[in-house]
Amino acid sequence: MTPILTLSVMKTFSSKIPLGIFTLALLLCSFLVQPVRADLIEENKSDTAIKMLVFPKSLRVIENRQSGNTDDRFSDPKRIRKTLLKLDPARIVPAKTGEPVIGPVTRVRLRELAKQYNEDVIFIFRRSSNKEKNSIRHQGLLYLARQKKVLALKESTEAGSGSLDEMDLAGLQFLAKEARRVLHSHKFEKRQSAY
């Protein structure tokens, strides 16, 4: 091989090595990094183009817990039954509770829950306590299973000198009223003629 040919091959090869390494590193990073899925409860945004709801509707209430948060102090079934299971007086089928869901609430998770439970509306709520500030934050959303749409609820932060149980009850009652208000704002009502 002539020295000139060897030199040109080496220049071509050496100029392509950094580009090849960069491409390989980029490809490797794309496989290692998992796509970040948004937590819909934290986003707190409602979907648009929601069709009007014809009542009665069935309801499933599910608690969402963050991974690593296994605090069962507030998971009193009686408290949930007294507040969140009595959302809508227009329904015929009584509301039911579901198994707690751990981790972020994504659209994929909501579709899985809609397959698992046969209710029209799935109400997912989350509680998080801050011991230093003596407060409890309540968040939630409504998932319309047939339409595959999300209705966000206003969050509530209860703080004060009362007991955590009292603050939790007040936060759950706030979520129940907010969910009822949001559901009824999308309720289809038959209009009567003026004749």
CA distance 148 to 40: 13
Average pLDDT, the chain: 79
Is the pLDDT at 91 greater than 80, yes or no?
A: no
DSSP H stretches of helix in the chain:
3-32, 40-43, 77-83, 107-116, 164-185
Q: What is the pLDDT of residue 7?
A: 47
- Among residues 96, 77, 179, 180, the alpha carbon closest in space to that of 138 is found at 179
**pLDDT classification of 56: cutoffs 50, 70, 90:** confident
Mean pLDDT, rounded, for 79-91 = 73
Strand, helix or coil at 151? strand
CA distance 182 to 176: 10
Q: What is the pLDDT of residue 132?
A: 81
pLDDT above 90 covers a percentage of the chain that reads: 35
pLDDT, one tens digit per residue, over 165-195 is: 888 889 999 999 999 899 889 888 766 656 5
pLDDT, one tens digit per residue, over 113-148 is: 999 999 999 999 999 888 788 888 999 999 999 999
Q: What is the pLDDT of residue 187?
A: 84
Q: How far is CA 4 from CA 12, 14, 17, 146, in A?
A: 12, 15, 20, 72
For domain 40-185, the question of CATH label 2.40.50 is answered with no
Phi, psi of 35 (to 5 degrees): -65, 140
Predicted TM-score (pTM) of the model is 0.74
